[in-house]
Amino acid sequence: MTTAKADLDSDIISLARLALAGRAQDIQMLVQRIARKTRGEKPELSNSLTALLREAPSKDTPLRRMAEIPMPVDSDSRLHLLKIEEAIEIDHTPVLAADVSAALDQLVSERGRLEALDAAGLDPTKTALFVGPPGVGKTLAARWLAKRLGKPLMILDLAAVMSSYLGRTGANLRQVLDYAKQADCVLLLDELDAIAKRRDDRDEVGELKRLVTVLLQQIDDWPASGLLLAATNHPDLLDPAVWRRFEMKVEFPMPERQAIYELVNGLLQPYENKAEHWAKILSVALHGQSFSDVRQSVERARRAAAISGDALDIHLESLILPEQLSKAERINLATMLVDAGLSQRNVQKLTGVARDTVRSHSQPETTARKRRGT
């Protein structure tokens, strides 16, 4: 018996075993592997198997097809361990750094060119790790991806359920991931560092170290039809083996001024006729804050205006907070606002810094341009 025939016989036996066990997702992976192995010697078989894989077995959504599979719950509280978003609504296109946007576009494009990848003997990217400080858009990016791919989003907050896992090895974690594998979804493991800490950390108990091993096995076994995302604010805490398992790493930076401008403009445009003006001001005043903090500040101002009946301008001005800044900080803010294109008159009103002081601290070329326009 040739090696190729022996391999094929072994695959057929494995396929039968999986079919009898009802493991649909694993069957799909094995059929895909057989199609690749037989492409050279049995192209007709390979093409037929590939065609079968592309056929949709049902018009139902992934979650409806899983109605008979119980959703994982905590054995103590009986609460669901997964948060599921099927009909994802996003009020505006996320504002993302160029590198982040390019990475997300690639993940979507790969799933639109499965035939080209298959012809090259490749799978689409199955796993991606989102890294960055809190509030920079990691969860929003996961929701945006799921919406573009037309898949439900499942979110497992590892930090929130950590106490449930201790003492029960990786059984619950394996249960959750096995469920998500069968759902043809986008799964987000939030706060990954809660369980994926370095196994050489002497302060960690053996139970957590075993969870890392379970996680590694699950990542290796993740189906190409799904997408596994993980997010962490502390990449330095991750076990190196976990870090290596993710095929794509996406770093989410703190937003630059242009990104804050786009976010604020998008938030104010439907309600404020001077949205661009305020976006320019707040892109300077709120620089250094996360997307989440900027959004909360703007929405807090809008709520205050709606309740008081005051003009929104009054409450947006309060976000600049000149009374909480030192004299040097107010001068620096005033200078940046002038350099951003605001008139010295408006800057004096907003910051309380005299125009002569602003003029003396502004960039020479900007000051000269202002004088010519006065």
Q: Is 92 helix (H, G, I), strand (E, B) or coil?
A: coil
pLDDT at position 79, please? 65
Cβ(52)–Cβ(31) under 8 Å? yes
Q: Is 77 helix (H, G, I), strand (E, B) or coil?
A: coil
Where is average pLDDT lowest: 46-50, 321-325, 335-339, 357-361? 321-325
Q: Tell me the C-alpha distance between 138 and 136, whole Å.
A: 6
Q: CA angle, 265 as apex, 106 and 256 as ends, to 5°?
A: 55
In this structure, the number of other CB atoms found within 10 A of the CB of residue 182 comes to 19
Q: CA angle, 166 as apex, 165 and 172 as ends, to 5°?
A: 25
Amino acid at 311: A
Tens of pLDDT along 89-100?
Answer: 887 788 899 999
pLDDT of residue 190 exceeding 70: yes
H or E stretch at 114: helix 114-119
Second CATH level (architecture) for the domain 64-251:
3-Layer(aba) Sandwich (3.40)
Tens of pLDDT along 233-278?
Answer: 998 888 888 899 999 999 999 999 999 999 999 999 888 888 998 8
Ranges in the chain annotated CATH 3.40.50.300 = 64-251
Tens of pLDDT along 285-312?
Answer: 898 899 999 999 999 999 999 999 998 9
Q: CA angle, 78 as apex, 73 and 83 as ends, to 5°?
A: 45
As a whole-number percent, the residues of the chain with pLDDT over 90 amount to 28
pLDDT at position 153, please? 93
DSSP state of 155: E
- Mean pLDDT in residue range 203-219: 74
Q: Tell me the C-alpha distance between 298 and 290, whole Å.
A: 12
Q: Tell me the C-alpha distance between 306 and 44, whole Å.
A: 67
pLDDT at position 58, please? 45
57 contact partners, CB below 8 Å, separation of at least 6 = none
Average pLDDT of the residues of the chain: 80
Q: Tell me the C-alpha distance between 114 and 97, whole Å.
A: 27
H or E stretch at 105: helix 98-112
pLDDT at position 88, please? 84
DSSP state of 57: S
User: What secondary structure, in 3-state letters, does 341-371 show?
Assistant: CCCHHHHHHHHCCCHHHHHHHCCHHHHHHHH
